[in-house]
Chains A and B, each alone.
Chain A
């Protein structure tokens, strides 16, 4: 069984990627909301926000990238839910394939789709004046953090897609994730927030990830932020993966 794991996953990944290629609107809608937010914050609110940095779009971009991922993974939950509902999931389960490859194909698809959306958002940011002198290693580090973050959230999406009772339910879990960056250092420095809000903002995962990515872009020392960011991503990834596999086993038992 497991000897076919990579082959089966590749075949099923090809299937999901074809779905995306035939409905590219999922990638565009994923990218449009964060882009609209970026336009609004830079050109409407940005003038009144004092971040202490020269370019607000450069300050804002890391948070916008996280919002892009948070809205993109809703489609993973949606696609998984549709597979279960249409019965094609049961067909795969009753076939002699590596059983977990069905999930891995969706997870890798999420990674590909979100990467494309992220590139689109970065390109728009460049048009809006985002500049970074960061070298290749710093960009690779940013990519690595974003990939880890995407994987962690994707496994959360898998739990939701497997256990949802309706299409709306499958994607609703991503709303709080999209909202989380607002309660962080993504849009404004945490220093101006009142005590309890500030305490929450400074100790939730988004702030450390945003700070790490921002420091990498601006070539500042990343300090402990990057380790806290990695710890959050890996921690969420492991817990979400365990829960998702557990849910999956109960679904196919």
Chain B
């Protein structure tokens, strides 16, 4: 669904990508993991036709991003690092706007359906400037789903969100893949990649240094040895238990991958 080969990009003297290769299978969640400045956003911008690569090829849904950008734009949707929503319009108006720009029939119904799906119906008529960070992010993702694009790029979708909002976004992403959408996700949070992705690639100094499933990545290290550890609740567990998060805090955090 996404095919990237030998991608290179430099900003003036700074070589950001030095030959990036990876493939993403249809209907899977692929996480691009890397620290700040690793080049994750640059990859996403090239794939979403906002930036031209210096060398290498990238294809989305069988279309080349450099030579067939219009076809690529038909099949993708981008959720950038900062929630790209219109603050002055209401949530519903934002959704209607995107539906109109995608030339869809009955934009009002599409907007109402998405508001319901992302639990924003009550806030639908309110100006987005009154929304919380999590609501804004959910609206942002909802806007990206209009027209059911087969490929969705999410650039650091949970950066700056509180733990509850993060879980809400995770649920939305899982549901996406469940509906058959291909998701390329960038993140700097290891647990996010671990929690969501079918495959994980680590982008470091402009190259993909590993690419595989979580199990494959774990095999790169010596086999796990059994240690007895007194499991203390993490602060996140405590926080979520106290404020309540709809009972979705059961993921195992005891995954000892210490080198």
Cβ of B82: which chain A residues have Cβ within 8 Å of it? 86-87
Q: Within the complex, what minimum Cβ distance (angstroms) separates B79 from chain A?
A: 8
B158 interface contact, C-beta 8 A: no
Cβ of A12: which chain B residues have Cβ within 8 Å of it? 101
Within 8 A of A (CB), among B74-115: 74, 76-78, 80-89, 93, 97-98, 100-103
A193 interface contact, C-beta 8 A: no
Alpha-carbon separation in the docked complex, A96 to B76 (Å): 9
Q: Is the CB of B73 within 8 A of A18?
A: no
Within 8 A of A (CB), among B165-195: none
Alpha-carbon separation in the docked complex, A78 to B98 (Å): 22
Q: Within the complex, what minimum Cβ distance (angstroms) separates A115 from chain B?
A: 21
Cβ of B80: which chain A residues have Cβ within 8 Å of it? 87, 90-91
Instruction: Decide yes or no: A94 and B76 within 8 Å by CB, A1-B70, A86-B82 being known contacts.
Output: yes
Q: Is the CB of B73 within 8 A of A88?
A: no
Cβ of B76: which chain A residues have Cβ within 8 Å of it? 94
| Residue in contact with B74 in the complex, picked from A8, A11, A96, A252, CB distance below 8 Å | A96
Q: Is the CB of B101 within 8 A of A22?
A: no
**CB nearest to A3 among chain B residues:** B103
Alpha-carbon separation in the docked complex, A91 to B141 (Å): 11
Q: Is the CB of B102 within 8 A of A94?
A: no
Q: What string of 1s and 0s marks CB contacts (under 8 Å) between A1-34 and chain B?
A: 1001001100110010011001100000000000
Q: Is the CB of A94 within 8 A of B78?
A: yes
Alpha-carbon separation in the docked complex, A96 to B70 (Å): 6
Cβ of B93: which chain A residues have Cβ within 8 Å of it? 18
A41 interface contact, C-beta 8 A: no
Q: Is the CB of B101 within 8 A of A95?
A: yes
Alpha-carbon separation in the docked complex, A87 to B87 (Å): 11
Q: Is the interface of A mostly helix, strand, loop or mixed?
A: helix
Q: What string of 1s and 0s marks CB contacts (under 8 Å) between A178-197 and chain B?
A: 00000000000000000000
A92 interface contact, C-beta 8 A: yes
B49 interface contact, C-beta 8 A: yes
Q: Within the complex, what minimum Cβ distance (angstroms) separates B15 from chain A?
A: 19
**CB nearest to B100 among chain A residues:** A11
**CB nearest to A11 among chain B residues:** B100
A93 interface contact, C-beta 8 A: yes
Alpha-carbon separation in the docked complex, A182 to B246 (Å): 66
Cβ of A96: which chain B residues have Cβ within 8 Å of it? 70, 73-74, 102
A228 interface contact, C-beta 8 A: no
Q: Is the CB of B101 within 8 A of A97?
A: yes
Q: Is the CB of A11 within 8 A of B97?
A: yes
A44 interface contact, C-beta 8 A: no
Cβ of A97: which chain B residues have Cβ within 8 Å of it? 101
Alpha-carbon separation in the docked complex, A97 to B146 (Å): 14
Cβ of B81: which chain A residues have Cβ within 8 Å of it? 87
A48 interface contact, C-beta 8 A: no
Q: Within the complex, what minimum Cβ distance (angstroms) separates B4 from chain A?
A: 17
Instruction: Decide yes or no: A22 and B88 within 8 Å by CB, A8-B101, A11-B100, A94-B48 being known contacts.
Output: yes
Alpha-carbon separation in the docked complex, A92 to B50 (Å): 10
Q: Is the CB of B50 within 8 A of A90?
A: yes
**CB nearest to A12 among chain B residues:** B101
Instruction: Decide yes or no: A93 and B50 within 8 Å by CB, A7-B103, A18-B89 being known contacts.
Output: yes
18 other contacts beyond A11-B100, A94-B78, A96-B102, with CB at 8 A cut-off? A4-B103, A7-B103, A8-B101, A18-B88, A19-B88, A19-B89, A86-B82, A86-B87, A91-B80, A91-B84, A92-B101, A94-B73, A95-B73, A95-B77, A95-B102, A96-B70, A96-B73, A97-B101
Binding site for A on B (CB under 8 A): 48-52, 70, 73-74, 76-78, 80-89, 93, 97-98, 100-103, 143
9 cross-chain pairs, A with B, having the tightest CB-CB distances, nearest first: A87-B84, A91-B84, A94-B78, A96-B73, A94-B48, A11-B100, A88-B84, A96-B74, A87-B80
14 of the cross-chain contacts (CB-CB < 8 Å) are A4-B103, A11-B97, A19-B88, A19-B89, A86-B82, A87-B83, A90-B50, A90-B84, A92-B101, A95-B77, A95-B98, A95-B102, A96-B74, A253-B51
